Structure 1
Amino acid sequence: MVFYFKSSVVEPAAFVYVGKDKFENEELIKYGWEEDVWFHADKLSSAHIYLRLNEGDTWDNIPEDLVTDLAQLTKANSIEGNKKDNVTVIYTPWSNLKKDGSMAVGQVSFKDHRKVKKVLVPQRENAIINRLNKTKIEKQPDLQQEREDRRRELRKRDQAAQQQRRKEEAKVLKERQEKKWQKDHAYDDLFTEENLEASSNQNRPENWEDDFM
């Protein structure tokens, strides 16, 4: 089971999802998207909270209000952290998560610790949690299929973009070739047989020089 939330502090509303338990978290780790940012209580047990970024957004430039929402939701979904003040929440891109066979179910590490950010949550803010909980939906998705569908969509986009680039490049090349041909043949009409005869003195009348006297 996966819980879905929406945060309305940004426009369009941010898409957030949470694993129900450690086994579901394992699936989320495995089938995350490149656009996902992972949130977790630092050094405490908590749910794995994921923010799915909108296209064009980056994980290191998430609006402050949205980070606050995710941090509050993370704290609220930690049994121990929910009871404490001054809880630190960490977040990093899904692609930075590291998982190997020696780790327990739901446990992760990081490929690059420099890509991990921290935010301090002084205390629980019920107004935020209540607002987010009103958007809560439970689903049982096929995470693997969803990711395969997404990757298929991205491949189609890339192929379409490549085809468009090739068309534009071919158009530019054709225009350059036409301009070069026009430049190379700009004086061709001046040297036609008709023009050469018209400019030849041999075909002029005997008194043609009188015109200049």
Structure 2
Amino acid sequence: MQPRATETTIPTAGVRLAADLLTPDGAAGMVLFAHGSGSSRRSPRNVAVARVLAGAGLGAVLVDLLTPQEERVDLRTRELRFDIPLLADRLAGVVDWLVSGGGGPPTPIGLFGASTGAAAALVAAARRPDLVPAVVSRGGRPDLAGADLTRVRAATLLLVGGSDEEVLGLNEQAARVLPGTVELRVIPGATHLFEEPGALAEVARQAADWFVGHLPG
């Protein structure tokens, strides 16, 4: 059976954000996505991962963390996409919305972040330690989480392409700093966007296994 696809808006941090929900029947958890700089909730890569999660019994929330007006400004300035505190505040607000039942019956919540979105996901997890037990980073920039990185208690999986050397180094440093359960896994031959044959499918498979294994219940 295909998961239900729903478009909605989510109130968070004083704004309303457009979001797509992908929910299988009896979802065992919801995974909130934070896309990278210059991307959107319709990112084909994140949608592909969300569909694999749905096959594993997990729902997905794909949300634009900037309003349409902010997106227009950001196209000129490219500043808001790197405003990690702002993005993290909004992610934390979406977590609160999910906990309140806004997306359906409350379930355990995981965060999936890509590129700069991974930093926002880690900061949000640090701010909601009792609500977010698991995080997955795809080609992430955990260094942009700053001091919040040392406050993350969620079980964190760092997935990096083997050919993405600079980002791999940054993730190796982060893995030494993160205080909770953390694993760094390298996808051989993959570059930053995991465009190589089979690379994104491997990311999705490992992400699904991580969330199934680390979300309570």
Greater fraction strand: 2
- Which is helix-richer, 1 or 2? 1
TM-score by length of 2: 0.28
Higher-RCO chain (CA-CA 8 Å, sequence separation at least 6): 1
Structure 1 length-normalised TM = 0.29
**Higher-Rg member (1/2):** 1
